[in-house]
Amino acid sequence: MLIQLENEINPINLQHILQIKTIVKRLFPSSYTYNTYAEVGIRFPYFEDLTEKIKLLKAEFNAEKNEERTLQLTSKTIEVPVCYAEELAPDLNAFLQQKNMTLEKFIELHTQPKYLVYFIGFLPGFLYLGGLDKQLYHPRKANPDPKIEAGSVGIGHHQTGIYPQDSPGGWHIVGKTPIDLFDVNQAEASPFQSGDQIQFKPISLEEYKFQIQQMK
């Protein structure tokens, strides 16, 4: 079952989505829900007649409509260390030159916002984040790189994000995080979920190398 909301990217839409997911979970405990910017996907364990379920859902959602939607987007802000050293950020210098911006200014603009995790998609562990400062908007590369290393932090168009695994990609690589974004050996393969917020914390190259060493 697919539920569509207004086709836009904004925190209020996400708030509604999280609310719908909560209602669905309450009404149908055996269902599985996930979302993108503006859609909720619901899977049921068996083929079932959905007519009744849709009726129930509508009634429930409408009943809550007039109430204050106080559901908090998140109670959780997760800090993600990022190293902006030249050797880990192959595209940073060109980026700064084109923007006529200093490294300090860039780091300030990139680490200040709390980015909202809208959902995880594309590749296992890939976060769709909202909240990039307008001054850092930058078109994607005309020709994608054949291989971007896992952990690379990139900027493409209006988005910033982290590559969870080695993959081709068209974003400008401006830093790298030592943490694993997706590891099936952990109890929770991804530490993030839709509605969380993350904040980048600048670290030195030494700190980056130390953390990589620690993880081995």
Give the integer Cα–Cα distance in Å for 206 and 73: 35
Query: Does 164 engage in binding with another protein (CB under 8 A)?
Result: yes
- Beta carbon nearer to another protein, 30 or 143: 30
CA atoms within 13 A on the CB side of 44: 12
Instruction: Tell me if residue 140 falls in helix, strand or coil.
Output: coil
Pairing of strands 77-83, 197-203: parallel
Query: Does 126 engage in binding with another protein (CB under 8 A)?
Result: yes
Return the structure tokens found at 35.
């979302």
Number of residues that bind another protein (CB under 8 A): 32
Among residues 200, 213, 50, 203, the alpha carbon closest in space to that of 133 is found at 200
Bridge partner residues of 167 (DSSP): 148
Minimal distance, residue 81 CB to another protein, in Å: 21
Q: Tokens 């030592």 — which residue?
A: 178
Query: Does 111 engage in binding with another protein (CB under 8 A)?
Result: no
**Residues within window 26-55 making contact with another protein, judged by CB under 8 A:** 32-39, 41, 43
**Residues within window 1-30 making contact with another protein, judged by CB under 8 A:** 2, 4, 7-9
Query: Does 109 engage in binding with another protein (CB under 8 A)?
Result: no
Q: Under the rule (CB under 8 A), what is the footprint of another protein?
A: 2, 4, 7-9, 32-39, 41, 43, 119-126, 128, 164-165, 182, 184, 189-190, 193-194
